[in-house]
């Protein structure tokens, strides 16, 4: 005889996965520059439509050769970091003198995101993975349904619409670190002005052949005196 318990779903059955993203971060922007890879993201996290948290770091070092930045649900990003910790520890246990490079980590993330999507249990994130190994720079992105690609510059969220045109116009392969930082700051400022979920406190991280550096967060200088900000409905009578 089948037990009643076997027929009734556990009360926790629906809480085992993210049904809807609650605490989310916005765009991540990444570029290649002369010596390596730079990633930038603000440190805000929204609780629903409320910009609730102001000091959330969304860029993390992965192993010896990679940096990972994430948009989307913060708890799912933490789950991805747990997967990657296990992957890196398992790789280190072989003690064979080799270590996973950014291309391998990106391929792993592609499979994870696509696999979870196929189970109708996606991780609600868009990821940017950059790194340097054996002098070769690598930069790629993957979203929550497994769509992925490599490029010289990538962005997630609104950044894919607002920052990429700036990057296409101004990015150069031999950019210095200082010029690349200025370009990223310009992109983040444009996003700040146009994305209600963005804040002016941002963080930059770099990775080169020598290693990884995640810089302390700092604030961008803003200007809100534009006439379009002062009177946003001019010429659009009847709108909000």
Enumerate the active-site residues: 18
d(Cα 199, Cα 220) in Å, to the nearest integer?
A: 9
d(Cα 12, Cα 148) in Å, to the nearest integer?
A: 33
DSSP letter (8 states) at residue 60: E
Count of residues making up the chain? 240
| SS3 at position 26 | coil
Q: How far is CA 57 from CA 14, 153, 195, in A?
A: 28, 21, 18
Q: For 167-187, b where at least 16 C-beta lie within 10 A, e where not — what string?
A: beeebeeebeeeebbebbbeb
Structure token digits, residue 183: 């370009």
d(Cα 27, Cα 38) in Å, to the nearest integer?
A: 14
d(Cα 74, Cα 32) in Å, to the nearest integer?
A: 25
Structure token digits, residue 219: 């604030």
Q: How far is CA 179 from CA 49, 102, 205, 213, in A?
A: 34, 24, 14, 17
């Amino acid at each position: 005889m089948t037990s009643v318990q076997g027929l009734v779903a556990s009360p926790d059955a629906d809480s085992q996965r993210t049904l809807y993203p609650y605490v989310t971060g916005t765009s991540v922007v990444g570029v290649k520059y002369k010596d390596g890879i730079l990633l930038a993201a603000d440190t805000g996290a929204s609780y629903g439509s409320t910009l609730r948290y102001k000091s959330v770091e969304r860029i993390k070092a992965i192993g010896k050769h990679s940096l990972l930045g994430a948009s989307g649900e913060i708890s799912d990003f933490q789950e991805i970091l747990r997967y990657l910790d296990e992957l890196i520890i398992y790789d280190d246990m072989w003690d064979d003198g080799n270590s996973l490079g950014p291309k391998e980590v990106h391929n792993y993330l592609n499979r994870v995101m696509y696999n979870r999507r196929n189970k109708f249990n996606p991780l609600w994130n868009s990821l940017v993975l950059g790194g340097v190994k054996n002098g070769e720079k690598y930069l790629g992105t993957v979203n929550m349904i497994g769509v992925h690609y490599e490029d010289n510059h990538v962005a997630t969220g609104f950044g894919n619409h607002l920052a990429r045109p700036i990057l296409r116009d101004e990015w150069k392969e031999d950019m210095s670190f200082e010029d690349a930082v200025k370009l990223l700051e310009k992109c983040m400022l444009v996003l700040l002005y146009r994305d209600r979920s963005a804040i002016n406190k941002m963080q930059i991280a770099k990775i080169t052949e020598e290693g990884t550096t995640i810089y302390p967060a700092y604030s961008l200088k803003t200007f809100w005196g534009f006439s379009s900000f002062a009177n946003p409905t001019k010429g659009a009578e009847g709108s909000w």
